[in-house]
Structure 1
Amino acid sequence: MKSILNQIIASNKQVEQAEKQARIAEINNPATKDSRRNFLRKSAIGGIALGGFMSMSTEDTIAQATSKVNRASKPSELKITDLRYCIVQNVGRTPIIRIDTNQGIYGLGEVRDGADERYALFLKSHLLGQNPCNVEQLFKSIKQFGMHGRQAGGVCGVEMALWDLCGKAYGVPCWQLLGGRYRDKVRLYADTPESNDINEFKEKIKFRTQDQGYTWLKMDVSIGMLRNKEGSVVNNKFWGGGFSQWAGDYHSYANTKHPFTAIQITPKGLDEMAKVVEDVRSVVGYEIPLSTDHYGHFDLNNGIRLGKALDKYRLAWLEDIVPWEYTDQWKTISDALETPCLTGEDIYLKEGFKALIDKRAVDIVHPDLASSGGLLETKRIGDYAEDNGIAMAMHFAGTPVSFMANVHCAAATQNFLALEHHSVDVPWWESLVKTTDGRKLIDKGYAPVPLEAPGLGIELVDEEVKKHLNPKDKSYFAPTPDWNDKRSHDRLWS
């Protein structure tokens, strides 16, 4: 091999020298046009000509021939040229965004489930012409346009797409850009299946834990299960006898914060709710962590009463008993109960978590990366919690795009416990993407971390995504020129 390459190199040095002299002569010729002269100069300096390739040492030639470097990307010259979207009919509606560049590579991000794609489109005018690899700088310029809950979706979706782009440009996974990884696979937690028949329920739990391989489960323990239990709840008829936490007008039960409903759970109601947990625990056993959520809108006193009724079942956590912003109430609840308390899925930025962490008002923080600020900000939240002896679980309900952003963040954060997977039973969910390194997206209750795949490590499967677009907007990454112009001065200081 070496002798053959040496012969080729020797014979081509003469060709290279002749080409070089001809190029110099043409550059120096007064008749040569400026455009042609510039081209010749650039090709001489930056191009990899055949002669230049052949003049390398044998070792360098072999290295060059086997290199995996993506020469289509020159990160320092990347510029954002467009921001486009499509909306997947998953967990209601979930917009996926794509940020395009002048070099043909792009980044994928996701606006949080149930949020509006316009939260991201609004940011486009602040991004055009910018280098996407300056992730933190761009994040600082747009984070003022996010807020708690779904209103953070645009900022967070853009941040995801920027990290995906940056990883692709430099050829490394996103977790590497966050400082490295603590784990090669990310533990997932899934909903418990539902059934009124105990034997059927046992079979479903067996399938979830043995066949699907999940080692952490979560269930709802809601006053909604008391709907037809006379004498189990006080003041529910005032609200129309309904218990829905997600639908209604401004004056409805769904939109009334917990301290203001005057709903109380009677001893009979507490017994009924505890019995449901006992039944599930008897089937699941005590080796598997069992978390709980969605109790209903009632005050901290009833939250404490319910928590004490459930303490003996050694639950992994009680989630969102009261709204997250009531720090002092959280402190009261946490101090009163043995079961760990958790909140955070609607909190935006580390600043929103600081009071809860500083006062140790919760035992576990629970950011949703699509609301908390994206990959880097969520890692900072986890790191701050870790400094104060508090663990971090991660809330998630969306498509595989945001899922993989969570996986990279979880891999890079030491005090991480488990990541929610809200679409375990959606048969087409995994088919929306393909991994760029051939790994499984989910393997026996864990998400394998892409060890070498650049960026998020996934690409959309166009034909599959198109099958599941929102029926009210079936556009698929169409141009968005209406959002190009910046029309305001948005600096927050004078």
Structure 2
Amino acid sequence: MPSSDDFVFNRRGILKGSAAMLAGAMLSGTAEASSAPFIQNVNANSGPSKLKITDLRYAVVEKPGPSPCVIIRMDTNQGVYGLGEVRDVAGPNYAMVLKSRLLGENPLNISYLFQKIQQFGGGARQAGGVCAVEMALWDIAGKVYNVPVYQMLGGKWRDKVRVYADTTESMDPKEYGQRAKERAQGMGLTWIKMDLGINVLEGIPNAVTQPAGLSRWERNSLPHPFVATEVTDKGIDRLCEYVAAVRDAIGMEIPLSMDHLGHIGVNSVIRLGKAYEKFNLAWMEDVIPWYYTDMLKHITDSMPTPTITGEDIYNIEDFEKLCANHAVSKIHPDLATSGGIKQTHLIGDMAFKYGVPMAMHFAGTPVSCMANVHCAAATQNFLALENHSLDVPWWQDLVEGIEKSIINKGFITVPEGPGLGVTLNEDVVRKHLRAGTGYFEPTTQWDSVQSWDDALFS
């Protein structure tokens, strides 16, 4: 039996010989992939240490869901480019104001660049530019190092990502149920979401208690506690008819979520949550604004139906406040608001620590969708990813790089190509550009700094 000294000697000899062979191969230019995988796996057209951002352009796509949707393209001095997407229903300015802070920078310094531009983001659509840039940086990094984004986040927990989707409302409960059934049986979805709010009670006497003469802003935009709107027993019974019709159509096995309740008071939310108990909902979404932590906790603690919020939250600290206080049952960040791919992954890891599951809100093109898919694949406590474009026949044709349909029987297969794993189908994108806009035209008007509020990084 060889001694431990023999093992040490032999191991050192092997290592020494391997190093000599590798050095010789590198000098002679004949290193094999098996000898130098760290060289072989790097994009041969790029020199990572000398990579620089040279341009940032955009194209505005109309109606792939909520519109417009702004796709950005970040170019470099080595021909490698990255794609990102500003959150739906936001403008390109959110991203383009960042261009002057990015030109000349190495796009592989993702954390540094995120810190540099983070101050220009905010809640909801205000974060769209920062997040779009962050997506594009990860796309470039994956292409340079020839790995999918999920791998750079630590690897994947799953090969397929579950999709859930809204069901188009109907004033007829039975028709509403049939539409949900088509989602489940026709499209193969294994998670359904229904929009159901007090709008379906309009015209029904004694269903809602509400001050007369409220303006549209007061009814739809004023935070819930200040609208003085409550649902009566009659109204609750009618709303339950809709949920019952959907459950009758899809059965009890499929998770069913609910959104867009309307701006109703805390007491009405709790009463509805109790009435919906028999339908075993996966969650009631955004029942009041997310920043009312104490009231959210009161609601969550007072009813059996789970709660969820998060699509308009930007900072991880705000998510942690909700999770640490168990103010909601689940969270659902929108990656195009919650800081992009890495920050959303960190939000998921943080929530896991508190025992809180994470779904993901998404509406937009396949570019942002793939950013979500990579994040979801790498996040342990992920549940399901929303999609608002199931009824748009050309949605999946906006990109190339995936052999079959992006969504197949309610799941998206995680791409294995480098970066986000998709490229744009130029012909289809051009066909669906917003009227009066071009395809990644020059944006030199954004080359110079237009405000001096980033002294820390100047």
- 1:282 corresponds in structure 2 to 248
Superposed counterparts of 1:348-359, under 5 Å: 348-359=314-325
Matched, 1:459 2:423: yes
Q: Does 1:213 align with 2:213?
A: no
Q: Shift of residue 489 of structure 1?
A: 4.5
Q: Cα distance 1:338–1:197, how it changes in 2: closer, same or farther (>3 A)?
A: closer
Letter in 1 for 2:188: G
Please name the residue that 2:128 is paired with. Answer: 153
Question: Counterpart of 2:73 in structure 1: which amino acid?
Answer: R
Tell me, in whole angstroms, the C-alpha distance in 2 between the residues paired with 1:405 and 1:207. 27
Which residue of 440, 452, 455 corresponds with 1:488? 452
Distance across 2 between alignment mates of 1:296 and 1:357: 24
Other structure's SS at 2:415 match: coil
Structure 1 alignment gaps of length 5 or more? 1-47, 241-247
Q: Deviations over 1:49-73 (max 9, x none)?
A: 9xx56xx48x779999xx7753111
TM-score (norm 2): 0.88
Mapped to 2, the partners of 1:197 and 1:272 lie a distance apart of: 11
Match of 2:61 among 88, 105, 119: 88
Q: Distance in 2 between matches of 1:61 and 1:327?
A: 54
Q: Find out whether 1:70 has 2:43 as its counterpart.
A: yes
Q: Percent identity?
A: 53
Instruction: Tell me what 1:474 maps to.
Output: 437
Equivalent residue letter for 2:434: N
For 1:372, what is the secondary structure of its paired residue? coil
Partner of 1:450: 415
Deviation at 1:264, TM superposition (A): 1.2
Q: Partners of 2:361 and 2:53 in 1: how far apart?
A: 30
Query: Which of residues 106, 116, 141 is equivalent to 1:141?
Result: 116
**How many angstroms apart in 2 are the aligned matches of 1:349 and 1:465?**
32
Kindly indicate whether the alpha-carbon contact (under 8 Å) linking 2:57 and 2:442 is maintained by their aligned counterparts in 1.
yes
**C-alpha deviations, 1:229-265, integer Å up to 9, x for none?**
122111264225xxxxxxx5xx542221111111111
Q: 2:393 matched to which residue of 1?
A: 427
Q: How does 1:72-471 map to 2 (within 5 A)?
A: 72-90=45-63, 91-195=66-170, 204-235=179-210, 237-239=212-214, 251-435=217-401, 438-451=403-416, 453-471=417-435
Q: Relative to structure 1, is the Cα distance of residues 439 and 427 closer, same or farther in structure 2, using a 3 angstrom cutoff?
A: closer
Per the TM alignment, residue 286 of structure 1 is displaced from its structure 2 partner at its CA by 0.6
Matched residue, 1:4? none
Could you tell me how far apart the structure 2 residues matched to 1:273 and 1:390 are? 28
Contact 1:87–1:93 (8 Å) recurs in 2: yes
In the alignment, is the contact (CA less than 8 A) between 1:94 and 1:111 conserved in 2? Answer: yes
Deviation (angstroms), 1:212: 1.6
Indicate the SS of the match to 1:239.
coil
Q: Deviations over 1:9-59 (max 9, x none)?
A: xxxxxxxxxxxxxxxxxxxxxxxxxxxxxxxxxxxxxxx99xx56xx48x7
Aligned-pair distance for 1:200? 5.6
Query: For residues 337 and 134 of structure 1, what CA distance do their matches in structure 2 show?
Result: 46
Amino acid across the alignment from 2:267: N
SS of 1:307's partner is helix
CA contact (8 A) 1:189 1:420 kept: yes
How big is the alpha-carbon RMSD for the aligned residues of Structure 1 and Structure 2? 2.4
Q: Is the 8 A contact 1:95 1:111 kept in 2?
A: yes
- Runs of at least 5 residues in structure 2 that lack an aligned partner in the other structure: 1-25
SS in 1 for 2:129: helix
Which stretch of structure 1 is more off in the superposition, 193-202 or 458-467?
193-202
Residues in 2 aligned to 1:112 and 1:361: alpha-carbon distance in whole angstroms = 26
**How far is 1:475 from its partner?**
1.6
Aligned 1:23-38 pairs, distance under 5 A: none
> CA shift at 1:491, angstroms?
3.2
Q: In structure 2, what is the Cα distance between the partners aligned to 1:80 and 1:493? A: 17
CA distance in 2, matches of 1:61, 1:233: 71
- Indicate conservation of the 8 Å contact 1:439/1:450, yes or no: no
**Distance in structure 2 (CA, Å) of the matches to 1:320 and 1:375:** 23
Q: CA separation of 1:198/1:356 partners in 2, compared to 1, >3 Å: closer, same or farther?
A: closer
Cα-to-partner distance string for 1:403-457 (whole Å, 9 max, x where unaligned): 000000000000000000111111111111112x535422111010013x00000
CA distance in 2, matches of 1:271, 1:203: 20
| Higher-Rg member (1/2) | 1
Following the alignment from structure 2 to structure 1, what is the Cα–Cα distance between the partners of residues 457 and 155? 36
Secondary structure of 2:408's aligned partner:
coil
Residues 315-370 of structure 1 deviation map (CA, whole Å, 9 limit, x = unaligned): 00010000000000110000001111100000002112121011011110110000
3-state secondary structure, aligned to 1:100:
strand
- The TM-score, its normalising length taken from structure 1, stands at 0.82
CA distance in 1 between counterparts of 2:443 and 2:308 reads 40
Mapped partners of 1:370, 1:107: distance in 2: 16
1:204 shift after superposition? 4.0
Letter in 1 for 2:356: I
Cα distance, 1:298 vs structure 2: 1.5
Matched residues in 1 for 2:77 and 2:457: separation?
33
Secondary structure at the counterpart of residue 95 of structure 1: strand
Instruction: Give the number of aligned pairs.
Output: 428
> Does the 8 A contact of 1:439 with 1:448 survive in 2?
no
Structure 1 SS opposite 2:363: coil
